[in-house]
Amino acid sequence: MTQFTTLSSQVVSLPINDVDTDQIIPARFLKATDKSGMGDHLFADWRYTSDGSPEVDFILNKPEARGAQILLAGNNFGCGSSREHAIWALTGFGFRAVISTSFADIFRNNALKNGLIPIAVDLETHHDLFDLFAEIPDAELTIDLATQTVRLPDDRRVSFPIDSFSRHCLLRGVDELGYILGFEKQIGEFEARLVDY
Amino acid sequence: MAQELDSPAILYIDLHLVHEVTSPQAFTGLRERGLKVRRPDKTVATADHSTPTHDLSLPIADEIAARQIRQLEANCRDFGIQLYDMSHPDRGIVHVIGPELGLTQPGMTIVCGDSHTSTHGAFGALAFGIGTSEVEHVLATQCLLQRQPKTCEVRLDGRLSPYLTAKDIILALIAKIGIGGGTGHVFEYTGMAIRSLKMEERMTVCNMTIEAGARAGLVAPDETTFEYLAGREFAPRGAHWERAMTGWRELTTDEGAVYDQTITMDVSTLEPMITFGTNPGMGMKITGRIPDPDHLPDANDKLALTKALTYMKLRPGEKLLGQPVDVVFIGSCTNGRLSDLRDAARVLKGRTVAPGVRVLVVPGSGAVKRQAESEGLDRLFKEAGAEWREAGCSMCIAMNGDQLKPGQYAVSTSNRNFEGRQGKGGRTFLASPLTAAAAAITGQISDVRMVMA
């Protein structure tokens, strides 16, 4: 698993609620059989015009988005399809954390498995953050996974929830499949007890 | 199966369904690690998303899609997995064939790299969608790391009026609680209304449970469930059936069960539902008026509705009745089963598709197609002016060439009306097969109760 400890970065603001995974990566890009190149198609239908040129008004095409590794999005981010391609598109573009008030369950799971941190904050903090980046677009946030905090430019610290197992895996770069494989013996014993109709 | 302190549980998976879109990278992962598929006998694959729905004897025109399907074939061959391939008579949409073949059974844990895996919950199975990393975990270990979800009882009381369907129930529920309303929860549907639904209808309700944000939706199995399962290819037989039934009969809702949350809805007052916006929660009664963003208190909600109506090119305060449509799509894992096609046929019988409207009827599986043809539904659809296609996901996800053109309006029996879901720039109204068929013959959004009066 991709390791994550701390991150200081500028932020891209996308104040849209209920961003679904079809917007993050439209289905026509799911015919690929590998994970690479998905970043080019991130938010494709919002990011490019019908002739394929960049949509100048879209935030990812603006200079301030360059190099930003944190996405600040509206409520209920990542709903809809289970496609992990949505995560590969976000990480392929360079994002390592998304901030919202809530995340769809499958999206959250997929994100944690790829070193993309879903940071859920309360509504008030969420509003404050949008206000902050509207005022100072190049402000930076610092995410510290060990303490589960986001530090704002005014030194205010906001904590965020993450289950202790995922935090441990991300901090140490633990491979989840390796962890389950460690239970080989118990899985075998469990299977031996399974009743086959 | 096992759980360590401060760690998620390790959940054993009884049935793993696999399709071409979300599995290639998982098989690559196995190869890189030199791992096998632990239980190929508990793994079943089919190709459904990128498969064409025209003549299947022709080569697939889209080379990238063809490569993805060939990749699935190679992966299944190399790892010893049963594949319902393009030439198999029982192939079809993964969530249609699982139940149809009797693979889906009460009490099972079922996963698939597909959010609509919730469909299988209709049998009292714990069934939910997973990502590709987790597909790899299950292939390698037959297990998944899982945290216990919260529970929510959805009690459906009352009786549906004529021309009201399971689709209207679930669209009304999502409109009521919102697309994030079920996040973090598993739903259990209880009450007289769910009991009186047939299995195919229960599947429609469970299928779209994910659109309310809940990963899974369950219905405790009952005689309706057992009757559906009896005699299916992979359902237990003879003494095995008796033994299975003993276990399945215990899977009832506990007396006095406590849930983290309870939602109730009386289905007897429902009207046919239709969506007007760009997520499945933006739904209303078909006779209703499009809501006005200015009447919403929350600034973000206001923005979201304004954005949706701009995309849909619709005006607040107006009715949808009479809105012209270009395409009608009848199919998908939500409404592509035989009862759905019969519903559509009921409306289309002896009538013709309105001029200029394209109507696609896409059966959910090869078996659904055969049954429909044996009842003469294919002839009925074709005589009415609709296209009768081969089984697959088709225009629900628009990966296979079946798609809307920019700006087109479609009434669709599928599950998602997200921007561009049915083709870039396409605009989707979600509705039941009855409502979709009513739009097909009138060329506009219509109240099926009036059309049939």
- Upper half-sphere CA count for residue B273 (Cβ side, 13 Å): 26
Q: Could you please report the per-residue DSSP string of A145-192? A: TTTTEEE-TTS-EEE----HHHHHHHHHT--HHHHHHTTHHHHHHHHH
Whether B311 contacts chain A with CB within 8 A: no
Predicted complex ipTM exceeds 0.95: yes
* pLDDT at position A197: 61
Q: Is B96 on the interface with A (CB under 8 A)?
A: no
Taking CB atoms and an 8 Å limit, are A33 and B131 in contact across chains?
Answer: no
Integer CA distances (angstroms), A128 to A7, A125, B168, in order: 20, 5, 39
Structure tokens at B337: 């089963």
Residue B128: closest C-alpha in chain A = A106
Residue of A nearest to B144 (CA): A180
Residues 211-250 of B with CB under 8 A from A: 211, 213, 215, 236, 240-241, 243-244, 247
Nearest to B184 among A18, A82, A105 (CB): A105
Tokens for A73? 């999005």
Helix B377-384 × helix B338-348 angle, to 10°: 40
**Structure token pair of residue A17:** 């609620």
Which of B2, B215, B416 lies at the smallest CB-CB distance from A105? B215
Q: Does B402 touch chain A (CB under 8 A)?
A: no
pLDDT averaged over 10-residue windows placed end to end, chain B, 453 residues: 91 98 98 98 97 86 93 98 97 98 98 98 98 98 97 98 98 98 98 98 98 98 98 97 96 94 98 98 98 91 94 98 98 98 98 98 98 98 98 96 97 98 97 98 98 96
Cβ contact (<8 Å) for B307 and A16?
yes
Q: How many CB atoms lie within 10 A of CB B294?
A: 10
- pLDDT number for residue B387: 98
Rg (CA), chain B: 21
Contact between B180 and A102 under an 8 Å Cβ cutoff? The reply is: yes
What is the spatial distance between Cα B125 and Cα A184, in angstroms, rounded to a whole number?
25
Which residue is associated with the tokens 């609620």?
Answer: A17
Which site among A23, A79, A112 would you substitute to test the B interface, given the most B Cβ atoms closer than 10 Å to its Cβ? A79
User: Within B220-353, where are the H helices?
Assistant: 223-229, 238-248, 299-312, 332-335, 338-348
B293 touches chain A (CB under 8 A): no
CB-based contact, B320 to chain A, within 8 Å:
no
Residue of A nearest to B105 (CA): A197
Dist CA A95 CA A59 (whole Å)? 14
Partner residue opposite A33 with nearest CB, options B68, B184, B424: B68
User: Which of B134, B177, B332 to substitute to test the interface with A, most A CBs within 10 Å?
Assistant: B134
What does A83-109 look like in DSSP terms, one character per residue?
-THHHHHHHHHT--EEEES-B-HHHHH
Nearest to B137 among A80, A87, A176 (CB): A176
CA-CA distance, B358 to B356, in Å (whole number)? 7
The 3-state DSSP class for residue A4 equals: coil
What percent of chain B stands above pLDDT 90? Answer: 95
Residue type at B279?
N
Contacts of A31 in chain B (CB under 8 A): 21, 50, 62, 64-65, 67-68, 399
CB contact under 8 A, A176 and B131: no
**Chain A partners of B67 at a C-beta cutoff of 8 Å?**
31, 33
Best to test chain A binding among B3, B6, B7, B103 (most A CBs inside 10 Å): B7
Distance CA B134, CA A180 (A): 11
Q: What would you report as the CA-atom Rg of chain A, rounded to the nearest whole angstrom? A: 18
Residues of chain A with pLDDT under 50: none
Q: What confidence tens digit (pLDDT) does each residue in B209-249 have? A: 999 999 999 999 999 999 999 999 999 999 999 999 999 99
CB contact under 8 A, B421 and A30: no
Sign of CA dihedral A22, A166, B258, B3: positive
The DSSP call for residue B319 is: B
Residue range A95-131, pLDDT digits in tens = 999 999 999 999 999 999 999 999 999 999 999 999 9
CB B172 within 8 A of CB B154: no
Rounded to 10 deg, the angle between the B24-33 and B132-141 helix axes is 50
Q: How far is CA B241 from the centre of its chain?
A: 28
Closest to A116 measured CA to CA, from A133, A94, A140:
A94
Phi, psi of A19, rounded to the nearest 5 degrees: -70, 120
Q: Are B209 and B153 in contact (CB under 8 A)?
A: no
C-alpha B348: how far from chain center: 23
**Distance (Å) from the C-alpha of residue A29 to the closest C-alpha of chain B?**
9
Crossing angle between the packed helical segments B366-374 and B338-348, to the nearest 10 degrees: 40
Distance (Å, rounded) from C-alpha B2 to C-alpha B25?
A: 27
Whether the Cβ atoms of residue B330 and residue B391 lie closer than 8 Å to each other: no
Is B75's Cβ below 8 Å from some Cβ in A? Answer: no
CB B269 within 8 A of CB B167: no
Per DSSP bridges, beta strands B185-190 and B150-157 are: parallel
Cβ neighbours, 10 Å, residue A55: 15
Phi first, then psi: give them for residue A23, nearest 5 degrees.
-80, -40
Paired strand residues for A126: none
Closest by CA position to A143, among listed A164, A120, A123: A120
The pLDDT, as a whole number, for residue B147 is: 94
Percent helix, strand, coil in chain B, to 5, is: 40, 20, 45
Tokens 């402000």, located at residue: A139
Residues of B in contact with A189 (CB under 8 A): none
Q: Look at A82 and B115 and tell me if their CB atoms are within 8 Å.
A: yes
Note whether A27 and A85 are within 8 A (CB).
no
Put simply, the answer to whether B215 touches A106 (Cβ < 8 Å) is yes
* Of B337, B313, B78, B25, nearest in space to B206 by CA: B337
> Could B300 and A83 be called an inter-chain contact, meaning their C-beta atoms sit closer than 8 Å?
no
φ and ψ at residue A49, rounded to 5 degrees = -80, 175
To the nearest whole Å, the CA of A190 is away from the closest chain B CA by 7
Query: Dihedral of CA A12/A13/A18/A22: which sign?
Result: negative
Residue holding tokens 């990278």? B25
Encoded tokens for A169 = 């895996």
Report the candidate in B215, B214, B433 with the shortest Cα–Cα distance to residue B328: B433
> What tokens does B328 get?
């009608």
User: Would the CB atoms of B301 and A17 count as touching at under 8 Å?
Assistant: yes
